[in-house]
């Protein structure tokens, strides 16, 4: 008999191998890579596990003869449909299955594959009056030949990472910088539908690095050293910082000093910096934090006015030489002042401590209680104590063995003394020394009990970079240049340039080279450091600011790495370059990006948006705002030169979705969004400039990118 069952559900459309409605099944050559598993009498076994994919017209009485051809066709359909198993049912129905657990459960209920099962005899026996023997009656009895199927197909190959690259050079020569390494997903690359490497971790890593502690940039003038900080702190925080480097917020004692401090602050872009005056605790009675007398005053008109009854601290007014009183909790730049004598810093405390406590505090600055080795130094110490009205101050002399033999706490020899008449006395009891000022006729050293509390003087050799006043910025082309006559090693010069938001100068044309050479000669700087190096690989010279090392002006037969280790470039007075040892001390030239009155810093390190904004704030700046096509193009051109991809700028809508604002508070008067941006895909609240494009895109703020500061 001829039987045909119409298709119930079609899951996969494939080309049938039947020729129209022919009664014979066309054989198709295929591997016998399937296994006969079992016969099933109940359709329910299949309904729960398998899905019908097709059915065929075949001669039931000759079912076994066509089984292989039908299996090949069914297997093909199952394979294309993504099934793992297939089966041939009665009437030639093709089924596919995916659930392995259900499949294995089904196997437990299967019967053995027998000739009766495959020939149809079993079906005949389970019909009519014999249906009771067939587990459920005629309507529920079917004969199935179930075939386990594992298709022959290429095994997916998951991707694997190659070895990590070397860490990049730390992007800062002092302070906390960043370096990065990468790995490539090619060991092996994913193929045949295998997974990529994302499940194995990120393709890049960033870590903090610190080659050295940054030295504060200082300016020496007379007997004082000044530090002009671009950081913003409250008055108390600023004073704490100044004390940590051996000074106080600056006191000012003459018009000349006031003009000097204001000019240097303006040269460095400081805005309303704190100086050391306060009347906290005694309204209207202004005093200097360092204890010196406030004889000179330069208040602005109608100041101090204690507006709101809360203005008890002092700062300089940016556009005027005068002073203003201000709320001490406001955060401003600030100016520190330290006393110096023959290159040493002398810190005079305002609080009292015992001798041990005083020495411990001095050690935190890298020094000791003051040692005195000449009459001139002794007079200087006397002057500092007297100017503050101190009766006596601890010095670093101590009778450690309590035998009357005094020695300096730093181990230096006692080559000079200034004991008052009858001193030292009380051997074994008064084992510490003070400089005592009773009056002009009576002053000098006295020994006292070490447990007594006194003001004290620390002394240390500053491990710091010291500028001389008069260094300044010179605009030229797309940059501003800073020429320093302070002779320092290459790393200290590089650190100084970072401190003002730039790098040691890169040079990209004969015109730029001539400009730097001429300015250096005009200032009589001699040979100067510029910003290249081949530290990572001998002979592979790079600029510190990441711009291409395309222009070169080496002197004849240079660079030659003479004696090995000449990894840093100097510029001769002729404008030619020479490689030299990096520990040599020279004047130097910094270069800062400059456009229409603004300076820019492009980071080589990657940070999230928030950390990038904090970093820019250390230069008294913000992530860059952009207010015209010209400014946008300028920034884009600088990025292309440095091959910087996707850097953050200051635009964000973190407070209100869709309301974009600049982090510096400036007006949003220019936009350059890319097509269909911003789209806020997955909460994208920050902006970056797209790679090889002047257009912008919104991005997640916690992603890490390089960035552009503006200040």
Best-predicted range by mean pLDDT among 80-94, 167-181, 267-281? 267-281
Tokens 């940039």 -> residue: 217
What confidence category does residue 266 fall into, taking pLDDT thresholds of 50, 70 and 90?
Answer: confident
- The mean per-residue pLDDT over the stretch 243-247 comes to 83
- The mean per-residue pLDDT over the stretch 212-220 comes to 66
Separation of alpha carbons 530 and 503, rounded Å: 9
pLDDT at 42 > cutoff 60: no
Separation of alpha carbons 671 and 699, rounded Å: 16
- The mean per-residue pLDDT over the stretch 123-143 comes to 39
Supply the DSSP symbol for 200. G
Predicted confidence at residue 125, as pLDDT, reads 40
Q: Examine the fold and report which residue of 566, 594, 622 is the final residue of a domain before the chain moves on.
A: 594
One domain, residues 72 and 54: yes
Domain range enclosing 300: 218-340
Domain count, the chain: 5
What confidence category does residue 319 fall into, taking pLDDT thresholds of 50, 70 and 90?
Answer: low
Predicted confidence at residue 232, as pLDDT, reads 87
In angstroms, the Cα distances linking 168 to 13, 172, 544 are 55, 11, 12
Residue 221, C-beta contacts closer than 8 angstroms, at least 6 positions apart: 257, 260, 469
Residue 433 has which token pair?
Answer: 């020394």
Comparing 692 with 52, which gets the higher pLDDT? 692
Predicted confidence at residue 651, as pLDDT, reads 96
- The mean per-residue pLDDT over the stretch 280-290 comes to 92
Q: Which of 107, 95, 12, 100 is nearest to 47 (CA)?
A: 95
Predicted confidence at residue 144, as pLDDT, reads 44
One domain, residues 389 and 315: no
Comparing 139-143, 209-213, 327-331, 472-476, the range with the smallest average pLDDT is: 139-143
One domain, residues 386 and 319: no
Predicted confidence at residue 22, as pLDDT, reads 30
Predicted confidence at residue 670, as pLDDT, reads 94
Give pTM, 2 decimals.
0.44
What confidence category does residue 686 fall into, taking pLDDT thresholds of 50, 70 and 90?
Answer: very high
What confidence category does residue 275 fall into, taking pLDDT thresholds of 50, 70 and 90?
Answer: very high
Average pLDDT over all residues of the chain: 80
**Other beta carbons less than 10 A from residue 172's beta carbon:** 21
One domain, residues 386 and 406: yes
Cis peptide before 429 (omega within 30 of 0): no
One domain, residues 234 and 313: yes
Are the beta carbons of 578 and 562 closer than 8 angstroms? no
Predicted confidence at residue 618, as pLDDT, reads 64
Q: In this structure, is residue 167 part of a structural domain?
A: no
pLDDT at 18 > cutoff 50: no
SS3 string, 587-620, reads: EEEEEEEEECCEEEEECCCCECHHHHHHHHHCCC
Q: In this structure, is residue 661 part of a structural domain?
A: yes
Comparing 11 with 451, which gets the higher pLDDT? 451
Q: In this structure, is residue 447 part of a structural domain?
A: yes
Q: Examine the fold and report which residue of 594, 622, 649 is the final residue of a domain before the chain moves on.
A: 594
One domain, residues 609 and 581: no
One domain, residues 493 and 451: no
Are the beta carbons of 247 and 349 closer than 8 angstroms? no
Q: Examine the fold and report which residue of 146, 161, 183 is the final residue of a domain before the chain moves on.
A: 146
Predicted confidence at residue 86, as pLDDT, reads 72
Predicted confidence at residue 590, as pLDDT, reads 92
Q: In this structure, is residue 415 part of a structural domain?
A: yes
One domain, residues 609 and 706: yes
Q: In this structure, is residue 540 part of a structural domain?
A: yes
Tokens 């999230």 -> residue: 608
Q: In this structure, is residue 179 part of a structural domain?
A: no
Predicted confidence at residue 60, as pLDDT, reads 54
Predicted confidence at residue 120, as pLDDT, reads 43
Comparing 101-115, 197-211, 387-401, 514-528, the range with the smallest average pLDDT is: 101-115
Residue 537, C-beta contacts closer than 8 angstroms, at least 6 positions apart: none
Parallel, antiparallel or unpaired: strands 528-529 and 586-595: parallel
Separation of alpha carbons 25 and 286, rounded Å: 110
SS3 string, 561-579, reads: CCCCCCCEEEECCCCCEEE
Comparing 168-177, 517-526, 640-649, 658-667, the range with the smallest average pLDDT is: 168-177
Predicted confidence at residue 64, as pLDDT, reads 63
Predicted confidence at residue 211, as pLDDT, reads 64
Predicted confidence at residue 603, as pLDDT, reads 85
How many alpha carbons fall within 13 Å on the CB side of residue 345?
30
Predicted confidence at residue 317, as pLDDT, reads 83
Residue 513 has which token pair?
Answer: 């080279």
pLDDT at 338 > cutoff 50: yes
Residue 600 has which token pair?
Answer: 């820019």
One domain, residues 617 and 586: no
What is the distance between the terminal CA atoms of the chain, rounded to a whole angstrom?
93
Gyration radius of the chain over CA positions: 42
CATH number at residue 415: 3.10.100.10
One domain, residues 493 and 442: no
Separation of alpha carbons 152 and 225, rounded Å: 81
pLDDT at 415 > cutoff 60: yes
pLDDT at 139 > cutoff 50: no
What confidence category does residue 138 fall into, taking pLDDT thresholds of 50, 70 and 90?
Answer: very low
Q: In this structure, is residue 351 part of a structural domain?
A: no
Kindly state the percentage of the chain with pLDDT values over 90: 40
Predicted confidence at residue 708, as pLDDT, reads 94
Q: In this structure, is residue 99 part of a structural domain?
A: yes
pLDDT at 73 > cutoff 50: yes
What confidence category does residue 28 fall into, taking pLDDT thresholds of 50, 70 and 90?
Answer: very low
pLDDT at 517 > cutoff 90: yes
One domain, residues 227 and 330: yes
Comparing 22-36, 446-460, 537-551, the range with the smallest average pLDDT is: 22-36
One domain, residues 507 and 584: yes
Predicted confidence at residue 280, as pLDDT, reads 93
Comparing 73-87, 337-351, 408-422, 545-559, the range with the smallest average pLDDT is: 73-87
């Amino acid at each position: 008999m001829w039987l045909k069952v119409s298709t119930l559900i079609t899951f996969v459309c494939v080309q049938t191998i039947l020729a129209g409605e022919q009664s014979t099944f066309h054989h198709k050559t295929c591997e016998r890579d399937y296994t006969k598993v079992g016969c099933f009498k109940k359709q329910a076994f299949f309904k729960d596990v398998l899905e019908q994919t097709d059915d065929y017209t075949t001669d039931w009485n000759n079912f076994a003869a066509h089984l292989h051809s039908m299996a090949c066709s069914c297997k093909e359909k199952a394979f294309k449909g993504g099934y793992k198993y297939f089966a041939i049912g009665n009437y030639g129905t093709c089924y596919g299955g995916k659930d392995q657990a259900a499949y294995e459960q089904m196997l437990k209920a299967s019967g053995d594959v027998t000739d009766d099962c495959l020939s149809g005899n079993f079906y005949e026996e389970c019909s009519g009056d014999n249906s009771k023997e067939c587990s459920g009656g005629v309507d529920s009895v079917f004969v199935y030949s179930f075939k386990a199927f594992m298709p022959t197909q290429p095994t997916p190959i998951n991707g694997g990472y190659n070895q990590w690259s070397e860490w990049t050079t730390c992007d800062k020569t002092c302070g906390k910088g960043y370096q990065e390494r990468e790995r490539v997903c090619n060991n092996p690359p994913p193929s045949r539908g295998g997974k990529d490497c994302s499940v194995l971790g990120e393709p890049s890593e960033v870590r903090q690095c610190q080659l050295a502690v940054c030295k504060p940039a200082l300016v020496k003038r007379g007997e004082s050293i000044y530090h002009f900080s671009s950081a913003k702190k409250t008055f108390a925080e600023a004073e704490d910082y100044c004390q940590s480097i051996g000074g106080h917020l600056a006191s000012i004692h003459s018009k000349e000093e006031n003009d000097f401090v204001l000019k240097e602050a303006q040269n460095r872009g400081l805005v309303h910096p704190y100086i050391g005056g306060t009347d906290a605790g005694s309204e209207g009675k202004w005093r200097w934090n360092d204890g010196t007398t406030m004889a000179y005053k330069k208040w602005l008109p109608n100041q101090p006015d204690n507006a709101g009854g809360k203005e008890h601290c002092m700062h300089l007014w940016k556009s005027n030489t005068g002073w203003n009183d201000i709320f001490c909790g406001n955060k401003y730049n600030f100016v520190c002042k330290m006393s110096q004598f023959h290159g040493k810093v002398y810190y005079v405390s305002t609080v009292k401590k015992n001798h041990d406590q005083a020495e411990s505090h001095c050690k935190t600055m890298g020094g000791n209680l003051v040692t005195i080795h000449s009459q001139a130094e002794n007079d200087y110490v006397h002057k500092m104590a007297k100017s503050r009205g101190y009766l006596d101050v601890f010095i670093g002399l101590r009778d450690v063995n309590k035998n009357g033999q005094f020695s300096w706490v730093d181990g230096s020899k006692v080559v000079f003394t200034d004991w008052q008449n009858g001193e030292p006395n009380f051997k074994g009891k008064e084992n510490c020394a003070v400089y005592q000022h009773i009056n002009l006729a009576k002053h000098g050293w006295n020994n006292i009990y070490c447990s007594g509390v006194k003001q004290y003087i620390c002394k240390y050799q500053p491990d710091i970079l010291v500028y001389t006043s008069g260094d300044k910025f010179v605009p030229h082309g797309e940059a501003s240049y800073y020429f320093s006559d302070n002779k320092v090693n290459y790393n200290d010069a590089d650190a100084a340039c970072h401190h003002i938001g730039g790098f040691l100068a890169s040079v990209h044309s004969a015109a730029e080279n001539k400009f730097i050479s001429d300015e250096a000669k005009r200032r009589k700087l001699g040979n100067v450091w510029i910003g290249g190096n081949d530290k990572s690989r001998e002979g592979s010279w790079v600029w510190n600011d990441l711009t291409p090392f395309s222009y070169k002006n080496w002197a004849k037969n240079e660079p030659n790495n003479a004696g090995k280790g000449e990894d840093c470039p100097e510029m001769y007075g002729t404008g030619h370059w020479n490689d030299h040892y990096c520990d040599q001390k020279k004047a130097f030239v910094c270069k800062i990006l400059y456009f229409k009155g603004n300076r820019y810093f492009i980071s080589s390190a990657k940070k999230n948006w928030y950390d990038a904004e904090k970093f820019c704030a250390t230069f008294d700046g913000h992530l860059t705002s952009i207010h015209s096509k010209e400014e946008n193009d300028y920034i884009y051109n600088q990025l292309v030169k440095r091959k910087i991809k996707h850097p953050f700028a200051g635009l964000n809508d973190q407070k209100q979705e869709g309301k974009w604002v600049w982090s510096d508070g400036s007006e949003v008067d220019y936009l350059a969004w890319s097509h269909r941006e911003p789209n806020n895909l997955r909460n994208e609240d920050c902006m970056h400039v797209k790679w090889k494009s002047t257009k912008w895109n919104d991005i997640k703020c916690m992603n890490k990118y390089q960035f552009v500061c503006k200040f």
